[in-house]
Amino acid sequence: MIRDRGKIKWTAMMLPEHVKLLRDWAEEDRYEQKPELDEQQIEEMNSVLCQAMEEGRELVITHYEAKHHKLLLGTIHHYDNLQNRLHIIDKFGEVHYIPIHSLVDLRFSD
C-alpha cells in the first residue's frame, strides 16, 4: 500500500523563503475586492443614512476594511464633516469610526 504524505513530502525539499511566499500567496487569495458603487446605490445609501440619523434607527453597516468586508450593527451618532467619517455606536456601547469612502452597504436592521 502506498502511503502518500501529500504536502509534507514536498515541504522538506523547499527553502523556507519559498514556503513563506506560498503562504503569503494563499493569504492573498482570501482577500476580497471592494465593489465599485454606481450613482443609484450611492443615492440609496445616502437616503438610508439621512433617515437613520433623523430617526435614530439601527443600521446594518457593511464596510471594507483591511481587504475584507466587515459587518457592524449600530446607530449613527453623528457625521464628522472634516474627516469624512461616521461616528457609530454599536449595541455594546463601543464607538466606531468608519470613513465614508469605505462604506459598501447600509440597511435598516428591522
Domains of the chain (ranges; CATH) run: 39-108 (2.30.30.520)
> How much is the pTM?
0.73
pLDDT confidence of residue 82: 95
pLDDT confidence of residue 86: 94
Share of the chain above pLDDT 70, in %: 89
Q: What is the Cα 36 distance to its own chain's centre? A: 14
Residue 51 has pLDDT above 90, yes or no: yes
Residue 83 has pLDDT above 80, yes or no: yes
pLDDT confidence of residue 7: 61
96 contacts 74 by C-beta, under 8 angstroms:
yes
pLDDT digits (tens, 9 = 90+) for 64-79: 999 999 999 999 999 9
End-to-end alpha carbon distance in the chain: 59
